[in-house]
Chain A
């Protein structure tokens, strides 16, 4: 197939909304949404601040199967309030993961796929967003004992704030070229540390540090895939069937502390240095 013919056969995953993404990953006909928009479970906090709420609060929870395996998909809608996590959306994700872990304790092998397009805490619901994210973290670590929890950061919002920590807790991470993964948003770093430290308007610089390709080359994610529905679906299915990793990335403190001990912090770091440092001794 020529490059052009191949491109014509691709269907962009990044351009899909949260609900379409969840549907695209699940086996045909298996998609069943929980607390769908007709339930009108909206944010109790946004209207008080003159912000129009959304019927699903920006989080879609869908049960179904992938390659025949039972899963729950939690998909964040990056187009609503920057994918920010409020009380309701956060509770939907935490609660779904809690029930998936409970399933496993009852002998039902439910796994989870998280579609992460989020700036982190929704500041209009500040402390309730933060509390929900702590509960999402707790639930991932619980569920991960039984089944893989797979995170997908496709873009274009990327995954930041407390939810980047949630990504770091996932058994496996899948990213595209459009993805960014980092704790702090570029503007906040620039504001806190200065433009010399972090130029938030220099897009090539930002992607060279936090972009999907760099994260893959540094071993901080597990798969780098094309922006193509079939490619994302196949990778997620493959990882689900692979089962739990031998050791979770977030449990490898000895390896990371040893590597950080080798960093020369008297000069600023560049992306190539991170790649060679973190690729050095893969476990």
Chain B
């Protein structure tokens, strides 16, 4: 029997405790409208649905329904706030083990479904919605690209279960023709290859990291601390531009800045 993480759901329930659930979405996509202080917010999560019609997406993977469902949940927020100056924040609660791997998924264009989610999140950010990604569990590869990676600001909880990567260790070892031990040794000296959140933070991609006492069952104090951090991130995003440039600047990512300088000079 496969087991799945419930962190995303727990944090969604905690942060959206007084929020109104958005209806008409796939069971595996949760969305609710609430507030943080006086800031309106839509909370979003992809959660496991053991009865998912698509069997390869029953453990919280981002599949066909999840990609297009996120697009639906985000796009309706853009539409609701089209005339509003105070755009609701979009809080993506991230605990996604992977994209869905399956024949139906490829045949029916899972790449297009994930593009649907990316499209909606990116348009929301460009329309002026503060988009915040909150990493409470795994943020893997295509699943993270579809749910969270278009955020203006990324926040990660400090915990060994919070990790960002392009591929699981076993598969990454196989594809790069290495043993898992060799891969781990390399990861220890090459920050972009590491799986832990501190190495990831060193790449400059996170706005903030935060410790909580009970990540699996958030306490009242944990929820308060995260809400404060989210509120600060929303304010910071509102004060800044609606692009992703705040992710540049870390020494471990200097080539990304250098390339942009050269391009601009030669453009």
Contact = CB atoms under 8 A, between A and B. Distances in A.
Given A92-B259, A128-B253, A165 B111 contact: yes
Chain B CB within 10 Å, residue with most, of A35, A61, A91 = A91
Contacts of A181: 111
A125 B122 contact: no
Interface stretch (B15-23, B85-93, B137-145): B137-145
A167 interface: yes
Contact of A198 (B53, B102, B145, B200): B102
A220 B109 contact: yes
A135 to B, nearest CB: 6
B190 A129 contact: no
B106 A92 contact: no
A12 to B, nearest CB: 26
B174 A95 contact: no
Given A130-B145, A197-B103, A268-B103, A95 B260 contact: yes
Contacts of A249: 112, 115
A260 B56 contact: no
Interface residues of A, number: 84
A222 B27 CA distance: 32
Nearest to A91: B259
B80 to A, nearest CB: 16
B244 interface: yes
A187 B122 CA distance: 31
Nearest to B186: A49
A130 B139 CA distance: 11
B216 to A, nearest CB: 25
Interface string A218-259: 101000000000000000000000000000111111101100
21 contacts: A87-B255, A90-B256, A91-B256, A127-B166, A129-B192, A130-B144, A131-B149, A131-B203, A142-B122, A142-B126, A165-B118, A182-B110, A183-B106, A183-B111, A188-B167, A191-B174, A193-B101, A198-B102, A209-B103, A251-B119, A260-B108
Interface of A: 34-35, 39, 41, 43-45, 48-49, 61, 63, 87-88, 90-92, 95-96, 98-99, 120-121, 123-135, 137-138, 141-142, 145, 161-162, 164-169, 181-184, 187-189, 191-193, 197-198, 209-210, 215, 218, 220, 248-254, 256-257, 260, 263, 265, 268-271, 274, 277-278
